[in-house]
Chains A and B, each alone.
Chain A
Amino acid sequence: MTGTASNPTSHRASDRAAIPMAIFLWVLVTCALAYGVIQTLAKVVKLFS
């Protein structure tokens, strides 16, 4: 696989740096979505109670 970037070494370093950030973002967006869904479900319960 070839990219357009001229320096594959800097690519690899940049990709490695992105991995922990992406994993952190997965955790962040999952927690945020869970917060939103739980808060909303609490309201929904009132509709059927």
Chain B
Amino acid sequence: MSFLDRESTVAGPGYNRWLFPPAALAVHLSIGQVYAFSVFKIPLVEHFDSSLTAIGAIFSISIVMLGLSAAVLGTWVERSGPRKAMLASGLCWASGFLIGALGVSTDQLWLVYLGYGFIGGIGLGIGYISPVSTLIKWFPDRPGLATGLAIMGFGGGALIASPLSARLLETYGGNAESPDGIVASFLTLAAVYAVAMTLGAFTARVPAKDWAPAGFTPHTDSHGLRTSANVSAGNAIRTRAFWLLWVVLFCNVTAGIGILEQASPMIQDFFSSVDPEEAAGFVGLLSLANMAGRFVWSSTSDVVGRKPIYMAYLGIGAVLYFLLASAGPSSTFLFVALAVVILSFYGGGFATVPAYLKDLFGGFQVGAIHGRLLTAWSAAGIAGPLIVNAIADNRKAAGAEGADLYQLSLFIMVGILVVGFLANLAVRPVPERYHEPTDQADDVDEAGGVRTGSTAAPTDLRDTPEGARR
């Protein structure tokens, strides 16, 4: 199985770097299906004669496993290279559907939790981070554009899977008594995604150690937050910069996911003239904004810098949220326009973070560091909907209706974004004592090996500005 190893995927001279992004996109478009899981919610509720909460737990388990597996397996992904990681991801993701189909056909919900939720969720985590560090190595001159392109696929996956799944359910038929439609749809999706992800894995190539794009001169010195040094994943989580970025990502995702999760009922509560079909159009528009923002804003960050663009995501985002809460109810167009920009910032925050990590920690183990940072996503996935839903329920119990149900939670989101803005403002370069020795970092980088117990391990774990100036 050596052909799966990182060493076997090193590209020869003259290999065109634009041949790698479709591999990354194939994986991200496949795993992005998870955001379209809601298509199966009602059929599954009817089939298992269960509650929305019990079926919703399938999605929650998969998202929690995404964050956990990305954090735990990040260093393995970095060491193994993109081909092995993408194949492992495809195996888990397709197996998740197969085991889920078995659970549906045998009326055992726990098998769906295990399959789609647990095993599929591991596939999500591995797949999400698998192309990131390779993209950054192929595009050292435009890391924001490269990672934005791939992570845009995760947003786009739902756009494809949502109508596709609805069409499959319609084609295969089935009802609550006969689960044939769900089972056949799961089996079809398993086959489609297994093929797409395998093709992606076998197309994956990593650049040779001394490869650089024509005309690109690697930075040999550090400017602002951008370092020419490398920090291991083990050391990165000891730095203040990592945890500040964790807060930044958590705040950005919490605010965005709060709207995204409640988009359809929210617009119908704000404007009684909006019917469910029009609300579905609003959800679709937000999905497009989320996807486009990943590519557009992340690419823009290559020009304006990572810290300034996060100041825009969080600072302008806070203003837009304030306007949404205060002036949003006055006009449907204004409400939709504000929500579209907010969701584009949400997507941009996801897509820009790998490039931000590369600036701060170097490209050495950026995939593994990214994996650890994604725990912020898992936490925000719980916090965002909890804030919006709990407040809406309380307000409804108090007799409130319409926009009043959401205004308080939107103002809370303004506060959360301000916290994120301040955290981003406090990000400083990583002190030298966390840097890898140059020669050893190069050796390990080439082999894709891991050395978390680095010789550069700090004796003083305080990440102080004084240390940064040393």
Residues of A that sit less than 8 Å from B by CB: 1-5, 8, 11-12, 14-15, 18-19, 21-26, 28-29, 32-33, 35-37, 39-41, 43-48
Contact = CB atoms under 8 A, between A and B. Distances in A.
B77 to A, nearest CB: 18
Given A15-B12, A39-B159, A41-B284, A1 B7 contact: no
Give the secondary structure class of B's interface.
helix
A3 B205 CA distance: 11
Interface residues of B, number: 48
B278 A46 contact: yes
A49 B286 CA distance: 17
Interface stretch (B23-31, B48-56, B304-312, B369-377): B23-31
Contacts of B159: 33, 36-37, 39-40
A25 B205 contact: no
Contacts of B12: 1, 3, 8, 11-12, 14-15
| Listed residue (A12, A18, A22) with the most chain B CB atoms within 10 angstroms of its CB | A22
Interface in B173-218: 196, 199-200, 202-203, 205, 208-211
A3 B160 contact: no
Closest 10 CB pairs of A and B: A36-B159, A47-B281, A3-B10, A25-B22, A36-B160, A22-B19, A11-B12, A39-B163, A3-B208, A43-B284
Contacts of B205: 15, 18
Nearest to A13: B12
B67 interface: no
Given A29-B26, A39-B163, A18 B202 contact: yes
Contact of B199 (A4, A21, A41): A21
Nearest to B159: A36
B209 A5 contact: no
A28 B153 CA distance: 13
